[in-house]
Amino acid sequence: MLGNSVCKDPKLVEANDFLFSGLHIAGNTTNPVGSRVTPVFAAQLPGLNTLGISMARVDIAPWGVNPPHSHPRATEIFTVLEGTLEVGFITSNPENRHSRKVLQKGDVFVFPIDSQNPGAITIGNAVFGAAPEIASEVLIKSFKLDKTTNYLLSKF
């Protein structure tokens, strides 16, 4: 087993383990954030297991967002095929420096690390939708919020 993926017996490997079909299909962006991710990780494409790579298609509607998130085990290379898109990342503590760019069609931006199972942590869901809940007193102090915290918690 590597990461979350079981290594397949080499005698049982077949051509379909190295094929994924579906990135030509646009994701449905009619949702609250206006975006849809179509992942191609080891779970969808077993041939990626042990290679340290993965990919995804991200469709974003006009004014949609891909909510702030992190991939704790992955480098991300982002290519814009159509439109323009603001992207960025924040360095780790203590600097928390925001590096951002507006990308045009054909531009490529890299978010550093590596893995065939990148994981994804959506910041809002992780913090405000944690189970069991993070105490509102902790969130109020951590994010310098007030009673708005209870409203935010109700959304997750």
35, 85: one domain: yes
Show the domain range for 151: 121-156
54, 113: one domain: yes
What total of structural domains would you count in the chain?
2
Distance separating alpha carbons of residues 35 and 62, to the nearest angstrom = 9
90, 125: one domain: no
> Could you tell me which residues are annotated as the binding site for Mn(2+)?
69, 71, 76
Judge if pTM exceeds 0.75: no
If pLDDT is split at 50, 70 and 90, which confidence band does 71 have? confident
The backbone torsions φ and ψ at residue 74, rounded to the nearest 5 degrees and listed phi first, read -145, 145
> Could you tell me which residues are annotated as the binding site?
66, 69, 71, 76
19, 92: one domain: yes
If pLDDT is split at 50, 70 and 90, which confidence band does 125 have? confident
Q: Is the pLDDT of residue 3 over 60?
A: no
> Could you tell me which residues are annotated as the binding site for oxalate?
66, 71, 76
Q: For 66-94, what is the mean pLDDT? A: 82
The first and second tokens of residue 46, run together, are 């077993």
